[in-house]
Amino acid sequence: MSIEETDIFDLMDVPVEDITVEQKKEPKYEVPAVREYDGKDFLRVRQSYQLSQSKFAALLGVKRNTLSGYENEAKPPSTIAKRMLGIIEEHPDFIRTFYIQKLED
């Protein structure tokens, strides 16, 4: 029998009958749903950190013009930007300590 004709289970030395589907395992970490933020939320959080649009945009991972569009409600925030805003809002000490200091250097 050539390799092309070999069944994958023959290579594994496991009879097909012995293979079972494992029961669903509990996740080790549950990712929360993305909160709904609008442009006013981006402006509020940015002002609470007293950052320019350029620096806050860098913290979010977007361009300054994109952040401006969010804040002016000219464009809806992306899901990843909303997720980042949630992280920034929920962990102010971490953000101030590790990220804002680097932005100001």
State the pLDDT confidence band at 31, using cuts at 50, 70 and 90.
confident
Q: Identify whether 20 is part of a domain.
A: no
Q: Identify whether 79 is part of a domain.
A: yes
Domain that holds residue 59: 39-99
Distances (CA, A) of 12 to 1, 9, 20, 80: 16, 5, 14, 41
Domain count of the fold of the chain: 1
Whether the pLDDT of residue 7 is over 80: the answer is no
**What pLDDT does 78 receive?**
94
Query: 41-94: per-residue pLDDT in tens?
Result: 999 999 999 999 999 999 999 999 999 999 999 999 999 999 999 999 988 888
- CATH number of residue 95's parent domain: 1.10.260
Q: Identify whether 18 is part of a domain.
A: no
Cα dihedral value 92, 93, 96, 97, nearest 10? -160
